[in-house]
Structures are given as structure tokens and as C-alpha cells.
Amino acid sequence: MASYHGPKAKVQRRFGEVLIPRPKYSRILDKRSYPPGEHGKEKTFRGGRRSNYGTQLDEKQKLAYIYNVRDTQLRNYYLKATRVPTGTTGGNLLILLERRLDNLVYKAGIAATIWAARQLVVHGHILVNGARIDLPSYLLDAGDVVSVSEKMKDNPHVVESMESNTSYPPYISVDKAKKSATLLRIPDETEIQIPVNVQLVVEFYNRLT
């Protein structure tokens, strides 16, 4: 799956589960509890007697969708994860994805979605340790401070997103007044809560190596 720019609920209906925790997606899946498409009501969600490959592919696509990365990028992260001397490949893969700049912008509540976070970064509205960074895939290190540019601090979308967000991963500290967030430490894989079986993603890529 490429970086996705279409209807977000449609992808989640295809998998039959909420991948991005927003109330509107939960409501949509409750209302339309069947896959998208002309004959969606006649089908069931993915599952049942799917092959091992099909199940692994689903998990890989879910992971790419959640972090808004292209297939090539995700494969490169996997290869990088295999070279980390400690930890599991799946855990290291999640940690690399979690360290992405656009992901922290999203998880810190600076942007309401991962797609909005990417847009903020690409348009040059995000600073890392005071320096403008416009690369969504930029990997943050422990202690890095991410902040919003001066001209965007009063942006209504940024203000509303930050004010409405009250829950953060334990490895991120947020200063709403300064419109900034700090990656306190590199996360542990057990702290990264996403609806993906990352071991199946590893098995998918193992088939290709």
C-alpha cells in the first residue's frame, strides 16, 4: 500500500476494525459493519480461511496505513530493524516508526491525524531543537524537542487539536503553552499500542529475503 490519501474510513472498513482511534471512525464502522464496495453488504470482513500470506499482507498494509508510509519505506525500516543488535526485529521496526517526526507531531496532539501531521512537517511548520525540519521520516532521538513555528502557534487547527488531546504515550512530554513536545526516551516496544500483529509483518518480509 502506498502512502494513502483517499477516504480514511474506507480502508478501515476493508479491514473491519478501527485503525485510527477517532470517534467518527468508530461510528462509521458501527453504522456500516461491512466492507466497502458495490457488493459490500454481501461480503464479510477479512478473516476466515485466508492464507498465511494473505493474513501477513493484511498486517503489513495495516502498519503502513497507521504510520502513513509507503511500501518501500516500510521495507527499508524492516531491513534497518534486522540490523539492530538488540531486541526483536518486530519491536525494532515499531520503534523506528514511532520515532518518525510526523508520528510524534501526531502523538503529541499537535495535529489531529497522521496525515495532518505530515502536512505540517512538509510545509515547514515544525521545528526540531529550534531548527526547521521538513522531512516527515526524520528520526528523533531521546531529548529532542519538537515545536510549532511562531506563525502557526495560533493556528485554530493546531490549538484545537492540542487542547482536545489529553492522553500521550509515556515517552512523550507535551507543553501545551509552548506548543511543543519532547521525546523523553526511546520507547520500549511494549509501550507501542497499535492493532497490528507485527510478528506477521516480519514473517511477510522474511518471505522476500
Residues 124-169: tens digit of each pLDDT: 999 999 999 999 999 999 999 999 999 999 999 999 999 999 999 9
Does 42 share its domain with 118? no
- From residue 72, alpha-carbon distances to 44, 68, 92, 179 in Å are 30, 12, 17, 32
Q: Are residues 70 and 138 in the same domain?
A: no
Is 21 among the domain residues? yes
| Rounded CA separation 126/179 (Å) | 10
For residues 12 and 19, the answer to whether their CB atoms sit within 8 Å is yes
Q: Classify 127 as helix, strand or coil.
A: strand
Query: How many structural domains comprise the chain?
Result: 2
The pTM for the full model equals 0.82
Whether 3 is covered by a domain: the verdict is: no
Report the CATH number at residue 127: 3.10.290.10
State whether 13 and 55 are in the same domain: yes
Q: Where are the beta strands (DSSP E) in 52-187?
A: 126-128, 131-132, 145-148, 172-175, 180-183
| Residue range of the domain that includes 178 | 100-186
Mean pLDDT of all residues in 106-128: 97
pLDDT digits (tens, 9 = 90+) for 167-184: 999 999 999 999 999 999
Question: Which pLDDT score, from 0 to 100, does residue 34 have?
Answer: 47
Asked if 83 and 140 sit in the same domain, the reply is: no
